[in-house]
């Protein structure tokens, strides 16, 4: 396996890309058996090296093995198993309905791989966000170059060392490195780029791709709001609070694009909620969350300083109603709740990507729709309500990548639903069949016939031919047959 420094020379990168492209051109990646073999190999890789992956995730992000399995290992195994069970069916041509005016022609759709795919993964879920798109690209029959995030170096290293041992090392490669390597990679032409990360870097990727007219899928982020209606049933409210807490602080200490970013509630409900959140956090993380083994740490010092800078605003600091403790040495921030911080403060205008939960109070919960619409379109909207009319209003009056009612995060785990953003939260979608589609081109095929031969379709043009053409487009099947049999000349 090549070391990271081997990618510093452009000739080595060109040779690597050429080898993957040649592997694709040879046709072997198109074979359904090749695709299945790679998917089985990936499953075997995960199962054989679970402890190595746990260790890398602990080293990079402080993730407990249970959290690591829930959000990373289990996600990949589930996705690979689901696609492995369906890829044979997905690769088969599909019959396509053809209007009778084209009789006796037949149509079909044939999925084909795009070519050589470049995948940029993100550091917050460095295993699942690398391997889940890889599964989709392989299932579609592509060659792949995977670039893991350098901000999760242990996970990047373990992927770079293991993937060549289990998978086709000529058609699937891993490139390690930092921003300078990414810049060099983007100079090359790709058949598709799949990027997961920030909108800022997404713009750079899209700009580079535009030079080669390369299609791009961008999985970005945004501020995911959660609407909490005044649930009349106390047990329902307790479940909602527990789920919101789990979705705010559970996935990588809030460092997740689909984590709850802020909570919208009616003002009279806020005091009760805060007390319920305090009790829930104590149950999750104990009396001193800083010392808990169940909370992930902030990925690095730069992000730690970014998060703590939010609290340097006196008005933001004054809005803290719970938490706020910091462990600078271990890069851990206590789960923190803020009540009505200034709406123009950075914590309310930038994606938090950390363990701060602002609670924004409203006079009426219906005002949440206007509040959400006043800001960029989110990746996900969560809403806890039993009011069916309010649900319909949320669906019809807001725009987001996904909407989940009365639960959190589960939309990401569902293989039969697409996952993706809209507007500034990204574009393109994946998971399950949608991953296969993202990395495929659905080729339209028309099977024509030598009979009948209709002369009015050809010059020289006459008034009769003009009438024939007009009628052919407008008449039903029987009218066309009559034209074919009785008016052909």
DSSP 450: S
**Phi/psi at 13 (5° precision):** -65, -40
What span, in angstroms and rounded, lies between the C-alpha atoms of 417 and 84? 17
Please give the angle made by the CA atoms of 142, 144 and 147, to the nearest 5 degrees: 155
Token pair 């950390």 is found at 354
Please provide the size of the chain in residues.
489
Contact 242/280 with Cβ under 8 angstroms? yes
Sheet strands (E) in 331-396: 332-333, 336-339, 356-362, 380-384
Phi/psi region, residue 325 (left: phi>0; alpha: psi -120 to 50; beta: rest), is: beta
Calpha distance 202→219 (Å, rounded):
8
Query: Residue 456 forms beta bridges with which residues?
Result: none
Tell me if residue 224 is catalytic: no
Whether 451 contacts 441, CB under 8 Å: no
**CB atoms inside a 10 Å sphere around CB 239:** 15
Q: Which of 72, 219, 334, 351 is catalytic?
A: 219
Provide the token pair at 337.
Answer: 């709740």
Which candidate, 232, 171, 219, places its Cα nearest to that of 29?
171
Structure-token match 């169940």, residue found: 294
Comparing CA positions, the residue from 470, 418, 381 lying closest to residue 101 is: 470
**CA angle centred on 126, ends 144 and 20, rounded to 5°:** 10
Phi then psi dihedrals of residue 157, to 5 deg: -65, -40
CB 362 within 8 A of CB 265: yes
Catalytic residue among 257, 266, 334, 351: 257
Angle made by CA atoms 201, 207, 211, in degrees to the nearest 5: 145
Q: Annotate 198-227 with three-state secondary structure.
A: CHHHHHHHHHHHHCCCCCEEEECCCCCEEE
- Catalytic annotation on 155? no
C-alpha span between 162 and 150 (Å, rounded): 17
- Distance (Å, whole) CA 414 – CA 446: 35
Torsion angle, CA of 210/121/255/217, rounded to 10 degrees? 40
CA–CA distance, 395 with 406 (Å, rounded to integer)? 14
The CB-side HSE value for 188 (13 A sphere, CA atoms) comes to: 22
Catalogue the active-site residues. Answer: 219, 257
């Amino acid at each position: 396996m090549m070391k990271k420094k081997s990618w510093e020379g452009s000739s080595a990168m060109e040779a690597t890309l050429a080898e993957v492209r040649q592997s694709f051109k040879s046709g072997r990646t198109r074979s359904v058996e090749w695709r299945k073999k790679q998917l089985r190999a990936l499953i075997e890789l995960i199962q054989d090296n679970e402890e190595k992956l746990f260790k890398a995730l602990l080293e990079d992000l402080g993730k407990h093995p249970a959290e690591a399995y829930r959000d990373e290992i289990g996600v990949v195994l589930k996705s690979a198993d689901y696609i492995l069970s369906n890829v044979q069916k997905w690769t088969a041509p599909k019959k396509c309905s053809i209007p009778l005016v084209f009789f006796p022609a037949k149509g079909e759709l044939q999925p084909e791989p795009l070519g050589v795919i470049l995948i940029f993964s993100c550091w917050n879920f460095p295993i699942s966000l690398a391997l889940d798109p890889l599964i989709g690209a392989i299932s579609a029959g592509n060659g792949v170059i995977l670039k893991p995030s350098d901000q999760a170096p242990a996970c990047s290293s373990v992927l770079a060392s293991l993937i060549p041992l289990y998978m086709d090392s000529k058609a699937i490669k891993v490139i390690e490195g930092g921003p300078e390597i990414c810049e060099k990679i983007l100079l090359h032409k790709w058949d598709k780029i799949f990027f997961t990360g920030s909108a800022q870097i997404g713009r750079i990727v899209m700009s580079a791709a535009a030079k080669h007219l390369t299609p791009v899928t961008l999985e970005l982020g945004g501020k995911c709001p959660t609407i909490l209606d005044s649930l009349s049933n106390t047990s329902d409210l307790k479940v909602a609070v527990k789920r919101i807490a789990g979705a705010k602080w559970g996935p990588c200490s809030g460092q997740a694009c689909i984590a709850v970013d802020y909570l919208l509630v009616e003002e009279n409900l806020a005091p009760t909620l805060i007390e319920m959140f305090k009790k829930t956090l104590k149950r999750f993380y104990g009396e001193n969350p800083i010392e808990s083994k169940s909370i992930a740490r902030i990925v690095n010092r730069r992000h730690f300083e970014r998060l703590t800078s939010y609290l340097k605003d006196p008005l933001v600091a004054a809005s803290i109603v719970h938490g706020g403790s910091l462990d600078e040495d271990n890069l851990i921030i206590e789960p923190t709740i803020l009540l009505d911080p200034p709406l123009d403060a950075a914590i309310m205008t930038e994606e938090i990507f950390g363990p701060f939960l602002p609670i924004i109070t409203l006079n009426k919960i219906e005002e949440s729709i206007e509040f959400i619409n006043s800001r960029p379109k989110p990746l996900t909207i969560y809403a806890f309500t039993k009011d069916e009319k309010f649900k319909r209003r949320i669906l019809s009056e807001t725009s987001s990548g996904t909407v989940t009612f009365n639960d959190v995060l589960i939309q990401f785990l569902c293989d039969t639903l697409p996952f993706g953003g809209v507007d500034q939260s990204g574009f393109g979608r994946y998971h399950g069949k949608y991953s296969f589609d993202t990395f495929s081109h659905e080729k339209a095929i028309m099977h024509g016939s030598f009979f009948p031969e209709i002369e009015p379709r050809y010059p020289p043009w006459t008034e009769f031919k003009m009438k024939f053409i007009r009628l052919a487009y407008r008449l039903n099947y029987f009218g066309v047959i009559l034209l074919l049999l009785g008016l052909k000349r």
